[in-house]
C-alpha cells in the first residue's frame, strides 16, 4: 500500500472506529469518512457517488454484477469471453449449471474481443454481456465503448470487469456505456479485501447478501470503513499517478530484454495494453524455474495469473490467444506500478539473461535447437 493509504486508514482503527450506521458522533464520523472515499472512487471512473456500492473486492463485485442480473431471471443467455478472470468465468460456469446458456467468445492472437462477434452472439433471450475492460495476464484493453453501444442498441445489461483498468487508464463509465463496472482497491495500492461495483442509476440487481440493508439495500453487512477509506485514498492518488512513466519503464523492460535474450516474445504486443503489465514468453525455459530463480534474486513475477498460481493447468488466457501449453508455461507476467523505479528495471535486465541461459542449458529442446 502507498504510505498515504496506510496513514489515512490508521485513525479508523484508533480514533474514528465508529459503525457508519450509528447515529452517534463516532458513527457519523465514520460515515463522513466513507462518503469522502466514495467521492474519490466515483470520480476515478466518472460515476455519481450514489452509483458506487462498496463490496469485499473484485471477486464479489463480479459475482454481484453477474448473479445480480441473472438472479432476477429464471434463465436466459449470457455473452462473455474466453479470457475473463476466474471471478467472471467460474460465475458464468456456475450459472450454466443452473440452466443459463453462455456464449464464450474467442479473442484475436493479441487477446482482443471482436465487437462484431458480440453483436452476432446476441439472442432475443440475452440477459447480460460481461466482457472485461483490461486483461489481468496480458494487459489487453478491450473495445468496451463499442460493445457498450451494441449492448445499448440491443437493450441488454452490460457489465465490465474493470479491476485491472480502473486507476491504470482513464475510465469514464458513461462514455464506455457500461451498466455495471467492477473495481478492486488492492490493484491500485489500496488494501486487500475491499472493492466496488458501479451500478448505473436505474439498474436493479438481486443482492448477494441479505441482512441489514447497508449500501442503500444493495450490499448488507457492516461496512469495512478502514478498507473503504484506504480505497478512497488509493483512488485519489491513482487519479494523478504518472502512468506515462510506468509505460516508458514497461516498454524499456521489454525492449532491453528482447535485445539481450534470443527467442523471447511479448504476448499481446500488438494490442492496446494497460501500461503496467508485461507478459513475456521465454522459449525453451520453464516458467516455474524462471519464477523461482527470479524470486531468489528478489524479483517477484508470476507465470499466468497470480490468482491461479499453484495450478499446473496452462493459463486459459494464453491458451485462448493460441499459445501451446508449453508456451503458456514459459510465459512470465511482470507487473509495474508508479512505485517501480528505473533501477528496478535495470536490475531485472541484468539478472534475467543469466537465469534464462542457465535454464536453457538444462532444456533438451534448446540443445536440439542449438545443434540444428
Contact between 335 and ligand PLP by CB under 6 A: the answer reads no
Q: Which residues pair with residue 81 across a beta bridge?
A: 105
302 binds ligand PLP (CB under 6 A): no
Among 184, 224, 277, 331, binds ligand PLP (CB under 6 A): 184
Measure the CA–CA gap between 59 and 317, rounded to whole angstroms.
18
92 is catalytic: no
Residues binding ligand PLP: number (CB under 6 A): 15
Contact status, residue 169 vs residue 275, Cβ threshold 8 Å: yes
Number of H helices and E strands in the chain, helices first, is 15, 10
> Which of residues 31 and 85 has its CB atom nearest to ligand PLP in the complex?
85
Instruction: State in angstroms the smallest separation of the CB of 168 from ligand PLP.
Output: 11
Nearest-5° Cα angle at 332, 371 to 311: 105
What is the spatial distance between Cα 94 and Cα 241, in angstroms, rounded to a whole number?
38
Least separation in angstroms between residue 134's CB and ligand PLP is 7
Q: Does 81 bind ligand PLP (CB under 6 A)?
A: no
H-assigned helices in 168-324: 173-176, 214-217, 225-239, 243-260, 287-296, 316-320
Q: How far is the CB of 342 from ligand PLP (least distance, A)?
A: 26
User: Which is it for strands 264-266 and 277-282: parallel, antiparallel or unpaired?
Assistant: antiparallel
In terms of C-beta distances under 8 Å and separation of at least 24 residues, what long-range contacts does 218-223 make, across chains too?
Answer: 218/53, 219/53, 219/54, 219/55, 219/64, 222/19, 222/20, 222/21, 223/20, 223/21, 223/30, 223/34, 223/54
Query: How near is the Cβ of 18 to ligand PLP at its closest, in Å?
Result: 25
CA dihedral of residues 267, 270, 272, 276 (deg, nearest 10): 40
Q: Which is nearer to ligand PLP, 62 or 179 (CB)?
A: 62
- Could you say which residues in the range 222-261 bind ligand PLP, by CB under 6 A? none
Which of 18, 139, 191, 195 forms a contact with ligand PLP (CB under 6 A)?
195
Q: Does 59 bind ligand PLP (CB under 6 A)?
A: yes
Q: How near is the Cβ of 224 to ligand PLP at its closest, in Å?
A: 12
Q: Which of 38, 85, 236, 333 binds ligand PLP (CB under 6 A)?
A: 85
Q: Is 111 in the site for ligand PLP (CB under 6 A)?
A: no
The residues in 118-177 that bind ligand PLP, with binding defined as CB under 6 A, are 132, 136, 161, 163-164
Distance (Å, whole) CA 312 – CA 98: 28
Catalytic residue among 307, 308, 337, 347: 307
Interface residue list for ligand PLP (CB under 6 A): 57-59, 62, 85, 87, 132, 136, 161, 163-164, 184, 186, 195, 307
Write out the catalytic residue numbers. Answer: 307
Amino acid at each position: 500500500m502507498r504510505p498515504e493509504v496506510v496513514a489515512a486508514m490508521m485513525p479508523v482503527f484508533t480514533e474514528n472506529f465508529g459503525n457508519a450506521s450509528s447515529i452517534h458522533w463516532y458513527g457519523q464520523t465514520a460515515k463522513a469518512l466513507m462518503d469522502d472515499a466514495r467521492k474519490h472512487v466515483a470520480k476515478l471512473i466518472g460515476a455519481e457517488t450514489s452509483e458506487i456500492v462498496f463490496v469485499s473486492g473484485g471477486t464479489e463485485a463480479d459475482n454481484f454484477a453477474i448473479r445480480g442480473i441473472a438472479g432476477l431471471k429464471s434463465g436466459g443467455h449470457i455473452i462473455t469471453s474466453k479470457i475473463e478472470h476466474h471471478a467472471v468465468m467460474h460465475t458464468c460456469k456456475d450459472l450454466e449449471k443452473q440452466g443459463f446458456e453462455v456464449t464464450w467468445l474467442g479473442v484475436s492472437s493479441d487477446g482482443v474481443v471482436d465487437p462484431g462477434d458480440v453483436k452476432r452472439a446476441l439472442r432475443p433471450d440475452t440477459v447480460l454481456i460481461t466482457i472485461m475492460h483490461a486483461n489481468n495476464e496480458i494487459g489487453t484493453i478491450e473495445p468496451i465503448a463499442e460493445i457498450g453501444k451494441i449492448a445499448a442498441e440491443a437493450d441488454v445489461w452490460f457489465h465490465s470487469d474493470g479491476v485491472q483498468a480502473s486507476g491504470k487508464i482513464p475510465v469514464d463509465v458513461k462514455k464506455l456505456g457500461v451498466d455495471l463496472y467492477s473495481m478492486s482497491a488492492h490493484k491500485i495500492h489500496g488494501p486487500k479485501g475491499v472493492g466496488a461495483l458501479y451500478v448505473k442509476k436505474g439498474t436493479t440487481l438481486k443482492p448477494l447478501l441479505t441482512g441489514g440493508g447497508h449500501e442503500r439495500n444493495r450490499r448488507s453487512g457492516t461496512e469495512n470503513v478502514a478498507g473503504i477509506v484506504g480505497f478512497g485514498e488509493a483512488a485519489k492518488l491513482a487519479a494523478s499517478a504518472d502512468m506515462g512513466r510506468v509505460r516508458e519503464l514497461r516498454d524499456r523492460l521489454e525492449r532491453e530484454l528482447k535485445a539481450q535474450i534470443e527467442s523471447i516474445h511479448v504476448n499481446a504486443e500488438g494490442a492496446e495494453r494497460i501500461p503496467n503489465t508485461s507478459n513475456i514468453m521465454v522459449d525453451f525455459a520453464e516458467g516455474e524455474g524462471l519464477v523461482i530463480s527470479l524470486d531468489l534474486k528478489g524479483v517477484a513475477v508470476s507465470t499466468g495469473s497470480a490468482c491461479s498460481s499453484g495450478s499446473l493447468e496452462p493459463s486459459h488466457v494464453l491458451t485462448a490467444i493460441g499459445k501451446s501449453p508449453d508456451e503458456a508455461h514459459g510465459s512470465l507476467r511482470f507487473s509495474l506500478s508508479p512505485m517501480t523505479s528505473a533501477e528496478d528495471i535495470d536490475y531485472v535486465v541484468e539478472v534475467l539473461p543469466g537465469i534464462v541461459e542457465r535454464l536453457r542449458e538444462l532444456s533438451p529442446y534448446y540443445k536440439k535447437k542449438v545443434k540444428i
